[in-house]
Structure 1
């Protein structure tokens, strides 16, 4: 086969050419550049409008301090640590039961408990929240205690947390891994 052959082309019939003209008449370029708009010249007897100078926009990084870095997320207690706790090879040094407390009381008790446990050198603590009355929603403390544990005021105390094993309370309790007092975040 030789490469000097031209591809087959045919001419459009009159009807096809008319149809093509109608179709292409409504087509616009995908990225059409706007035509330059010519402004009419101002009449000679009216004074030109004074130029308006825009004030420079404030530079955000020079006007205010940089936003604080987002805190590193707490880690779920790893499987190995959970197994050590379950088998009794890692002692649960402290336990707090929040049953019967109101939210504000429970939050104060949790903060004080965790700081005291850290000062005593505890590595892992159990916080009992209870399962709540409704199985679907769970109790209010069960929902809010994880948020409290992630709060900035406890970042220097809490390393991570996770659901406790069944014999420690299961869904109604949390293991809280406590940061060593000499390794506080600054």
Structure 2
């Protein structure tokens, strides 16, 4: 995502809700109150737009359904084959790269993981290890452990990954993932 891109109204509202759920750093409470004022204004504007849209659509006129466009099925990631996972776990099939996302917040981890996977894919790597952590620290429920597999279904990750599965115990167990990267375009077995 471009750093200079402006947030949409919905994204600002979502960010405001996230920001309100946290405790401000010392001396930053003033910025949070400015954000609250902006969010109230933005939410009111969004509500007005929704009301205008509903008012412009007359309830008596039946709207024709938009024509359905054929969509390509989304790529589904399958688990690694059992023999492949066994070879990786026993060290007979090398993990060509690894990344440790411990201690990162989701936004940082997302960017770093995407960059890591793009570079590994460009280099023709096939099997990598992503360490998310188990989330066993006090107050943590394993945010990255839950989020990373969800990210893999997003468009920016989907084309990079062929399959993934939790790693063997000595590679991190439930706190790590074996990932098989898809082949580069035009690459043969």
Please, what TM-score do these two structures have when normalized by structure 1? Answer: 0.61
Write out per-residue CA displacement over residues 41-82 of structure 1, whole angstroms, 9 at most, x where no aligned residue: xxxxxxxxxxxxx98963632xxx615333031101110110
Matched, 1:140 2:146: no
Distance 1:56 1:108 in 2: 45
Instruction: State which of 65, 82, 85 in structure 2 corresponds to 1:79.
Output: 82
Corresponding residue for 2:159?
156
1:149 Cα shift? 1.5
Q: What secondary structure sits across from 1:74 in the alignment?
A: coil
Corresponding residue for 1:58?
64
Q: What secondary structure sits across from 2:76 in the alignment?
A: coil
Instruction: State which of 97, 102, 105 in structure 1 corresponds to 2:105.
Output: 102
Matched, 1:173 2:162: no
Corresponding residue for 1:114?
117
Distance 2:168 2:186 in 1: 27
Q: Which runs of 5+ in 1 are unaligned?
A: 1-53
Q: Which runs of 5+ in 2 are unaligned?
A: 1-59
Please, what TM-score do these two structures have when normalized by structure 2? Answer: 0.61
Which contiguous aligned blocks of 4+ residues in structure 1 show a shift greater than 4 angstroms? 54-57
Q: Counterparts of 1:5-16 in structure 2 under 5 Å?
A: none
Corresponding residue for 2:4?
none
Corresponding residue for 2:14?
none
Distance 2:64 2:174 in 1: 52
Asked which structure has the greater CA Rg, the reply is 1
Write out per-residue CA displacement over residues 128-180 of structure 1, whole angstroms, 9 at most, x where no aligned residue: 00001269x84100000000112121121000100000111111100011011
